[in-house]
Chain A
Amino acid sequence: MARARHRPTRRLASLAASAIAVAGGALAAPIEDRAPTPAQIALVDRITWGVTPAEAAAIANMGEGPWLQRQLHPADGGDHLPPAAQAQIGVMPYLQVSMVDLVRDAQLQQAAANQMTDPALKAAAKQVYSKAMDDAARQAAAREILRDLYSPDQLREQMTWFWFNHFNVQMYKANIRLMVGDYEDRALRPHALGKFRDLLEATLRHPAMLRYLDNADNAAGHINENYAREIMELHTLGLGSGYTQGDVQELARILTGVGIDAKPDEPKLPPQLRGQLIREGLFEFDPARHDYGDKVFLGHQIRGRGFAEVEEALDILSRNPATAGHVSRELAIYFVADDPPAPLVERMTSTYLHTDGDIAKVLETMFRSPAFKASLGDKFKDPLHYVVSSVRLAWAGRVVADPGPVLNFAGRMGEGLYAHETPDGYSMTAASWNGPGQMETRFEIARQLGAGGAGLFKPQTPGAAEPPVVPDIRASAQAVGLVAAQPPATQAVLVQASSPKDWNTLFLASPAFMRR
């Protein structure tokens, strides 16, 4: 049931022009005074992190088809952020250092702390080490929020979040805080719209995953099944697809020796195994820890021969129809409905199988379906969508000075970045996010955003005050037709607003703004 939306006013073009000036490389085409249709606005609202006047103008000028193609196939891997956002990322120190160096430096720091004999000095050194890890993760998260807010490649950013959640790791385990930025940026984002098989292997080769699900500790004679189980249950086949405890054990054997090595020097190996060693950054396949026996995995005879067994297992898993169905259904839950129609999932599954797991093609099948179009405006926003879409609409023409409040709000609503403890990731259905306590928290966030910047525009120099930044949400919302489209009960309340701040709060708290 898509709600009727009235056509937006002509004020759009001027608002959009100012927003586009900020969005930098977002748009090359000149702006024509062409108003987007309600359907186009609803489409933008679903495929991006929240509709803005600029993005609505973009789809109106380009047309739905080309706009969608550009979202599905970004020109390159660059961020193309507005200069004010790019500059913030450019000065975040932990983002300028490679993960390998971060982890090695931190290990030296930790070792030095452990050797201190004075308890006070030791505690202080450990605190420094711990704060460094916090800062590294915080900066990675800030970069991610800036991309969600301002990247022109909005679909890729949504998919990066989706895949992080699908291949979830939690930052507070061990030293994963030093790894989440790299995991997101180099394992997930480059493949977010690519082939599922590549994505799966990129996560398998990443130390964040190997640490989080304990495969770094999985060795011949010391089997740890944790990662093997979750690959099948969560990452690929899905629970109840017919694999057995025996398959879990066999995959765990296949995965022995797949781990992490932060030492600069290669491990000492007997000559016959040296050719089998693989090292890439912190990733290491250590043949001395691998179980070279033959395995039987999902009915396939796997000859024991080293890392090639892992490749073979990933081929088997990523091409399995159960994986195609599981991944398609997850995508449809994220983008269409809490309980997506079976025929839609079947068509997506079929696309997956015919294209060897081409994610952009599977998404395109979904976006072109009647079920997707019928669902626009009805999907309950999860907390991150709620806060990011609020900020995008409220300050469409102005880059935040500090994305920290967005992170804090997401955390307060129970959906902090890199913070989900268990490997199943955050729930993507309404029932998990719309309880009484959670709605109250949203209203409080609506109040803080509506009344001012909530700290978003506080200059990041000590002692500096936040400039006055009450947003004009009414103008942005009117420009994209979101005011006229409100149901009568909301309209009746909005006219009672006692001030622009009050109007902002009520609009962000309204039932329609909870959905996308």
Chain B
Amino acid sequence: MRRRDLLQIAALTVPAMVAGRAFATSRTKTRLLVIFLRGAYDGASLLVPIASGDYYAARPTIAIAKPDPADPNSALPLDAHWGLHPALRESILPIWQARQVAFVPFAGTDDLSRSHFETQDSIERGQATRGPSRDYASGFMGRLAGVLSGDGVTPIAFTQQVPLIFQGRQPVPNIAIAGVGRPGLDPRQSDLISRMYEGTPLGPTVSEGFAVDDQVYKAVGAEMTASGRGAISAKGFELSGRRVGRLMRDQFDLAFLDVGGWDTHVGQGNAQGYLSQRLAELGRGLAGFQEEIGPAAWADTVVVVISEFGRTFRENGDKGSDHGHGSVYWVMGGAVRGGRIAGDHGPVTTAQLNQNRDYPVLVDYRDMMGGLFRRLYGLDDARLQTIFPGASPRDLGLV
């Protein structure tokens, strides 16, 4: 993807302002979706270090077997050093083969608390972990939305609550994507309620909410009709992924989604079992997203999958893994330079571990995202510093 010539695109697009930002048409065609895997997923089971003897020695029961065409439970070879979890054979492997997904191993943060909550929060805030002052109620996607507000971006969080990552000076709408239904209030009631909130701090939030509810219901209504005929039977995260694809095709271009259930301390399984089911569902959701957003929009879409940290390199006493450090991020989309392992990486050996325990972090998430945002949106240093204060954006050639 090249940097957008914003002026040229702006000239071609008439912003359709109806009732606030939610109806605006963005002047940038770029669509960005960030997916947060809450609970610290085991990156070493997703992107398997198939050439590492230490990996197989450290994980007697939870390793994914080396690629073997005769064994459906073995890793899918990506290159000489890395394999993909076999649960992603139908969903993500085709995207890899189309060279539209890159993996960034050893990615993460310098926060070493190994606390889910602190690290999720610090990543969502996107501020330096050590610094003179922190703004606890400001997230990096919120600041990105602020920086791009002149370009008419349409941000949304597909979550039950507005996540920290999207908090900031202006309200960003949220909608629980798993439970969209017909609005129960009639337009007169919506109007009266909006009037009670006029001039109060929640005024903009409330009118935004009514507008978005309406839009989302209209967009997802088509799917509901279809499902009545048995056309779509997706559920769980796959259904969410498909809905998000539908909405990002037409209405929203800067979005966040999260999915939990990755904290596999006990019995995580290997090619089969708990984690493999989670990964399979995630893969189906992402493939469903790609299908629903359609080829035209996919060409301008970037999906980034992140998690707060990785897990211990060694299996624990309960056939699971404990809190680690470096994770594996995914970057996918029609214009992504994929089919490769991006960022700094080397052989996976015990000697390379952080604190003799877990993957090191060689790619800081702020630097990586900063570099990506620069390419996607043509942002200058000053604006990147607004989004990631004190970071050193790095171009990993992802787009």
Is the pairing of A and B real? yes
B171 and A489 within 8 A (CB): no
The reply to whether the CB of A86 lies closer than 8 angstroms to some CB of chain B is no
Chain A residue at smallest Cβ distance from B113: A239
Expressed in whole angstroms, the Cα–Cα distance for A170 and B245 within the complex equals: 31
Tell me the smallest distance from the CB of B346 to a CB of chain A, in Å.
26
B197 and A511 within 8 A (CB): yes
The reply to whether the CB of A224 lies closer than 8 angstroms to some CB of chain B is yes
Expressed in whole angstroms, the Cα–Cα distance for A510 and B193 within the complex equals: 7
A437 and B212 within 8 A (CB): yes
* Residues of chain A in range 479-516 having any CB-CB distance to chain B below 8 Å: 489-490, 492-493, 496, 502, 505-506, 509-511, 514
* Residues of chain B in range 309-362 having any CB-CB distance to chain A below 8 Å: 316-318, 322-323
Expressed in whole angstroms, the Cα–Cα distance for A234 and B183 within the complex equals: 39
The reply to whether the CB of A447 lies closer than 8 angstroms to some CB of chain B is yes
User: Which of B162, B175, B184, B265 lies in contact with A444, CB distance below 8 A?
Assistant: B184
Expressed in whole angstroms, the Cα–Cα distance for A440 and B170 within the complex equals: 18
Question: Chain A residues near B202 (CB, 8 Å)?
Answer: 434, 439, 511, 514
Question: Chain A residues near B137 (CB, 8 Å)?
Answer: 431
With A245-B114, A435-B162 already in contact, the answer to whether A217 and B318 are too (CB < 8 A) is yes
With A422-B39, A506-B192 already in contact, the answer to whether A435 and B173 are too (CB < 8 A) is yes
Tell me the smallest distance from the CB of A485 to a CB of chain B, in Å.
14
The reply to whether the CB of B8 lies closer than 8 angstroms to some CB of chain A is no
* Residues of chain B in range 170-195 having any CB-CB distance to chain A below 8 Å: 171-176, 179, 183-185, 189-190, 192-193, 195
The reply to whether the CB of A436 lies closer than 8 angstroms to some CB of chain B is yes
User: Which of B162, B190, B260, B316 lies in contact with A222, CB distance below 8 A?
Assistant: B316
The reply to whether the CB of A175 lies closer than 8 angstroms to some CB of chain B is no
B192 and A431 within 8 A (CB): no
B205 and A434 within 8 A (CB): yes
B318 and A438 within 8 A (CB): no
Expressed in whole angstroms, the Cα–Cα distance for A505 and B173 within the complex equals: 23
A437 and B171 within 8 A (CB): no
The reply to whether the CB of A330 lies closer than 8 angstroms to some CB of chain B is no
The reply to whether the CB of A402 lies closer than 8 angstroms to some CB of chain B is no
A437 and B117 within 8 A (CB): no
The reply to whether the CB of A242 lies closer than 8 angstroms to some CB of chain B is no
Question: Chain B residues near A214 (CB, 8 Å)?
Answer: 265-266, 318
B209 and A436 within 8 A (CB): yes
The reply to whether the CB of B167 lies closer than 8 angstroms to some CB of chain A is yes
Interface locus among A183-191, A225-233, A465-473:
A225-233
Tell me the smallest distance from the CB of B169 to a CB of chain A, in Å.
13
Tell me the smallest distance from the CB of B174 to a CB of chain A, in Å.
4
A447 and B189 within 8 A (CB): yes
B189 and A502 within 8 A (CB): yes
The reply to whether the CB of B56 lies closer than 8 angstroms to some CB of chain A is no
B171 and A496 within 8 A (CB): no
Tell me the smallest distance from the CB of B182 to a CB of chain A, in Å.
10
Expressed in whole angstroms, the Cα–Cα distance for A412 and B160 within the complex equals: 9
Chain A residue at smallest Cβ distance from B175: A437
Chain B residue at smallest Cβ distance from A486: B196
With A421-B260, A511-B197 already in contact, the answer to whether A432 and B322 are too (CB < 8 A) is no
Majority secondary structure, A binding face: helix
Expressed in whole angstroms, the Cα–Cα distance for A136 and B379 within the complex equals: 55
The reply to whether the CB of A302 lies closer than 8 angstroms to some CB of chain B is no
A439 and B196 within 8 A (CB): no
- Tell me the count of chain B residues lying within 8 A, CB to CB, of chain A: 52
How many of chain A's residues touch chain B, expressed as a range?
35 or more
With A447-B189, A502-B189 already in contact, the answer to whether A439 and B265 are too (CB < 8 A) is no
* Residues of chain A in range 99-140 having any CB-CB distance to chain B below 8 Å: none
B197 and A431 within 8 A (CB): no
Expressed in whole angstroms, the Cα–Cα distance for A432 and B175 within the complex equals: 13
Q: Which of A433, A443, A506, A514 has the largest number of chain B CB atoms within 10 A?
A: A443
With A436-B171, A489-B196 already in contact, the answer to whether A225 and B117 are too (CB < 8 A) is no
With A431-B137, A444-B183 already in contact, the answer to whether A489 and B199 are too (CB < 8 A) is yes
* Residues of chain B in range 146-168 having any CB-CB distance to chain A below 8 Å: 157, 160-162, 167
Expressed in whole angstroms, the Cα–Cα distance for A235 and B93 within the complex equals: 43
Expressed in whole angstroms, the Cα–Cα distance for A448 and B189 within the complex equals: 13
Q: Indicate with 1 or 0, residue by residue over B195-236, a CB within 8 angstroms of chain A CB atoms.
A: 111111010011011101100000000000000000000000
Tell me the smallest distance from the CB of B143 to a CB of chain A, in Å.
16
Expressed in whole angstroms, the Cα–Cα distance for A48 and B129 within the complex equals: 39
B213 and A440 within 8 A (CB): yes
Expressed in whole angstroms, the Cα–Cα distance for A225 and B116 within the complex equals: 13
The reply to whether the CB of B118 lies closer than 8 angstroms to some CB of chain A is yes
Question: Chain B residues near A221 (CB, 8 Å)?
Answer: 317
The reply to whether the CB of B397 lies closer than 8 angstroms to some CB of chain A is no
A489 and B195 within 8 A (CB): yes
A439 and B161 within 8 A (CB): no
Question: Chain A residues near B184 (CB, 8 Å)?
Answer: 444, 447-448
Question: Chain A residues near B52 (CB, 8 Å)?
Answer: none
Tell me the smallest distance from the CB of B85 to a CB of chain A, in Å.
23
Tell me the smallest distance from the CB of A220 to a CB of chain B, in Å.
10
Question: Chain B residues near A413 (CB, 8 Å)?
Answer: 160
* Residues of chain B in range 74-121 having any CB-CB distance to chain A below 8 Å: 113-118
The reply to whether the CB of A298 lies closer than 8 angstroms to some CB of chain B is no
B174 and A436 within 8 A (CB): yes
A443 and B185 within 8 A (CB): yes
Tell me the smallest distance from the CB of A472 to a CB of chain B, in Å.
19
B117 and A440 within 8 A (CB): no
Chain B residue at smallest Cβ distance from A444: B184
B189 and A224 within 8 A (CB): no
* Residues of chain A in range 169-223 having any CB-CB distance to chain B below 8 Å: 214, 217, 219, 221-223
Expressed in whole angstroms, the Cα–Cα distance for A434 and B203 within the complex equals: 11
Question: Chain B residues near A356 (CB, 8 Å)?
Answer: none
The reply to whether the CB of A405 lies closer than 8 angstroms to some CB of chain B is no
The reply to whether the CB of B261 lies closer than 8 angstroms to some CB of chain A is yes
Q: Which of A221, A437, A448, A489 has the largest number of chain B CB atoms within 10 A?
A: A437
6 contacts across the A-B interface (CB closer than 8 A): A229-B114, A229-B115, A435-B172, A435-B174, A436-B208, A493-B192
B residues apposed to A, CB below 8 Å: 38-39, 113-118, 137, 157, 160-162, 167, 171-176, 179, 183-185, 189-190, 192-193, 195-200, 202, 205-206, 208-210, 212-213, 260-261, 263, 265-266, 316-318, 322-323
The 6 lowest CB-CB distance pairs between A and B, nearest first, are: A222-B317, A436-B209, A435-B162, A414-B160, A437-B174, A436-B173
Known: A239-B118, A439-B209, A444-B185. 13 other contacts (CB 8 A): A224-B265, A226-B265, A412-B179, A414-B176, A421-B260, A431-B167, A435-B205, A440-B210, A441-B176, A443-B193, A489-B196, A493-B193, A506-B196
